[in-house]
């Protein structure tokens, strides 16, 4: 990493030029043939492989991530997505025939062709800087789009290495990186794109959607939410405690899909808390501080936001609570809260806060989850099959993992996305290809069929009506 230039914002006057370059390239149509797309994907794959040590170092610097987590959730994740895409691209890109055609229509060969949307803008978030920036890029490459990539400025080392990798491995006329924060992103949004793919918070998601609406630009918005976990009286308290604690330790809780709070049936609360304590002792036997497996909060602003949140709760801290502003350490902290209006539930914490809200029964759990956030990004019910079915049947969410914390999000072939306030559109697996493609319906009318078609031409005589 040391030999890379430091993180610097892209000069504002270069932004229109970079945009025009990728737009121009798209209109050469040279990004459309599959061999071109596969070449870009393969080159990106090998560049990521070559730069794995630097990528690991960048994640350590930006987020204190362990090498193990970086491989699982960043480098290995994107490599796997590329392999999957290379293996399946031909199948995804193939024309599709219309379903259930009658004989006459079948003569026109109704077909759906998969066209690239065009020149796209991808705006990444800091928490999984590679996964959330290069993951969408894999879809754009596969679909034959050109792109400008705007990594999060809040993970500047990851942004530097990603720029280096893209510059080294991809066609520079088709794929460019813009570095920077609000001014640079605002300048990018002034340009006309064929799609904007944004990952981040809902407030900025609204800014993006409004700006895109001015030019009817389609958007995919990957946003956050107040995700509930629900532990019913019939859940296995040990499994629920271990799995939900893991889901909050990953990336120090800076995970869009991790549970924001846990609704626990009072009947099982003591057993659940006991198991949570045991899981803490097992996963972090010497505590969280100084533990190489446990990272840090990304920056002082986010650390302070979390600290203010913790200070504002009227709940009771059961475990954790230690913080250190110097090292941006934030201990996983379990807080028992009394009601759904507690500040810890009112906002997405996006950190290692684990509020626990006791309820009486599944109906109250469902009612509470729907009242806190009717359309969260994830939902995690633990209990009997009948209970978890009932919970799924009476709630909505972008995705859900039954008897686990965010497992659904780790399946590379399962499309991932939000609903309502947690986002729109989806990606991963085939969905990554689809999100950057236009399904273009085409018919081809043969000349010999003119006799049959003459029935459609005016004048609409009585004889024609009889037919």
Active-site positions?
222, 256
Contact stretch for ligand NAD (CB under 6 A) within 168-176, 217-225, 275-283, 367-375: 217-225
**Count of C-beta atoms within a 10 Å radius of residue 229:** 30
The yes or no reply on residue 228 touching ligand NAD (CB under 6 A) is no
- Residue 254 burial (10 A CB sphere; 0-12, 13-18, 19+): buried
- H/E segment holding residue 84: helix 76-93
The yes or no reply on residue 127 touching ligand NAD (CB under 6 A) is yes
Which residues 87-106 are close enough to bind ligand NAD by CB under 6 A?
A: none
Least CB distance to ligand NAD at residue 34 (A): 28
Least CB distance to ligand NAD at residue 331 (A): 21
The yes or no reply on residue 446 touching ligand NAD (CB under 6 A) is no
Binding mask 323-362 for ligand NAD (x = CB under 6 A): -------------------------x-x------------
End-to-end, the C-alpha distance of the chain in Å comes to 75
Among 222, 265, 331, 342, binds ligand NAD (CB under 6 A): 222
Contact by Cβ (8 Å): 298, 155: yes
Nearest CB to ligand NAD, comparing residues 253 and 381: 253
Binding mask 20-59 for ligand NAD (x = CB under 6 A): ----------------------------------------
Q: Which residue has the tokens 């006057």?
A: 13
The yes or no reply on residue 182 touching ligand NAD (CB under 6 A) is yes
Contact by Cβ (8 Å): 1, 155: no
The whole-angstrom separation of Cα 263 and Cα 246 is: 17
Of 402, 431, 436, nearest to 418 by C-alpha is 431
Contact stretch for ligand NAD (CB under 6 A) within 70-78, 95-103, 138-146, 216-224: 216-224
What are the phi and psi torsion angles at 91 (to 5°)? -65, -45
Among 56, 66, 73, 185, binds ligand NAD (CB under 6 A): 185
The pairing of strands 333-336 and 316-319 is antiparallel
Contact stretch for ligand NAD (CB under 6 A) within 47-55, 195-203, 236-244, 452-460: 195-203
Return all residues near 464 (Cβ < 8 A) that are at least 6 apart.
Answer: 455
The yes or no reply on residue 154 touching ligand NAD (CB under 6 A) is yes
| Maximum Cα interatomic distance, the chain, rounded to a whole number of Å | 90
What number of CA atoms fall less than 13 Å from residue 296's CA on the CB side?
21
The whole-angstrom separation of Cα 302 and Cα 300 is: 6
Binding mask 237-276 for ligand NAD (x = CB under 6 A): -------------------x--------------------
The yes or no reply on residue 199 touching ligand NAD (CB under 6 A) is yes
Task: Express the helix, strand and coil content of the chain in percent, nearest 5 each.
Answer: 50, 15, 35
Interface contacts to ligand NAD, rule CB under 6 A: 123-127, 132, 150, 152-154, 181-182, 185-186, 199-201, 204, 207, 222-224, 256, 348, 350, 377, 418, 423
């Amino acid at each position: 990493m040391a030999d890379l230039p430091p993180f610097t914002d892209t000069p504002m006057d270069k932004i229109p030029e970079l945009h025009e370059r990728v737009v121009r390239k798209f209109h050469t149509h040279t990004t459309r043939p599959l061999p071109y797309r596969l070449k870009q994907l393969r080159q990106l794959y090998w560049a990521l492989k070559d730069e794995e040590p630097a990528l690991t170092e960048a994640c350590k610097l930006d987020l204190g991530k362990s090498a193990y987590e970086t491989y699982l959730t960043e480098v290995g994740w994107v490599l796997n997505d590329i392999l999957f895409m290379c293996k399946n691209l031909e199948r995804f890109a193939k024309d599709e025939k219309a379903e259930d055609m009658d004989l006459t229509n079948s003569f026109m060969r109704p077909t759906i062709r998969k066209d690239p949307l065009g020149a796209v803008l991808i705006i990444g978030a800091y928490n999984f800087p590679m996964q959330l920036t290069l993951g969408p890029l894999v879809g754009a490459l596969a679909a034959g789009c050109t792109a400008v990539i705007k990594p999060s400025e809040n993970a500047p080392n990851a942004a530097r290495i990603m720029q280096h990798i893209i510059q080294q491995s991809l066609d520079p006329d088709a794929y460019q990186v813009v570095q920077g924060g609000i001014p640079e992103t605002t300048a990018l949004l002034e340009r006309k794109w064929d799609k904007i793919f944004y990952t981040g918070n809902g407030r900025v998601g609204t800014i993006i959607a409004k700006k895109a609406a001015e030019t009817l630009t389609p958007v995919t918005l990957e946003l956050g939410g107040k995700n509930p976990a629900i532990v019913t009286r019939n859940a296995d308290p040990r499994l629920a405690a271990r799995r939900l604690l893991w889901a909050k330790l990953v990336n120090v809780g800076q995970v869009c899909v991790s549970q924001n709070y846990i609704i626990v049936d009072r009947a099982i609360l003591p057993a659940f808390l006991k198991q949570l304590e045991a899981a803490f002792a097992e996963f972090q036997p010497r505590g969280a501080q100084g533990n190489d497996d446990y990272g840090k909060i990304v920056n002082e602003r986010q650390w302070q936001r979390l600290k203010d949140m913790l200070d504002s709760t009227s709940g009771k801290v059961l475990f954790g609570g230690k913080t250190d502003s110097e090292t941006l350490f934030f201990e996983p902290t379990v807080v028992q809260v009394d009601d759904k209006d507690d500040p810890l539930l009112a906002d997405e914490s996006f950190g290692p806060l684990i509020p626990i809200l006791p309820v009486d029964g599944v109906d109250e759990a469902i009612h509470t989850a729907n009242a806190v956030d009717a359309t969260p990004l994830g939902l995690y019910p633990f209990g009997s099959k009948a209970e978890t079915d009932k919970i799924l049947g009476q709630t909505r969410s972008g995705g859900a993992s039954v008897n686990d914390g965010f497992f659904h999000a780790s399946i590379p072939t399962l499309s991932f996305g939000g609903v309502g306030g947690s986002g729109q559109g989806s990606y991963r697996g085939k969905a990554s290809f689809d999100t950057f493609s236009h399904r273009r319906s085409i018919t081809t009318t043969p000349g010999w069929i003119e006799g049959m078609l003459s029935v459609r031409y005016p004048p609409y005589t009585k004889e024609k009506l009889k037919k």
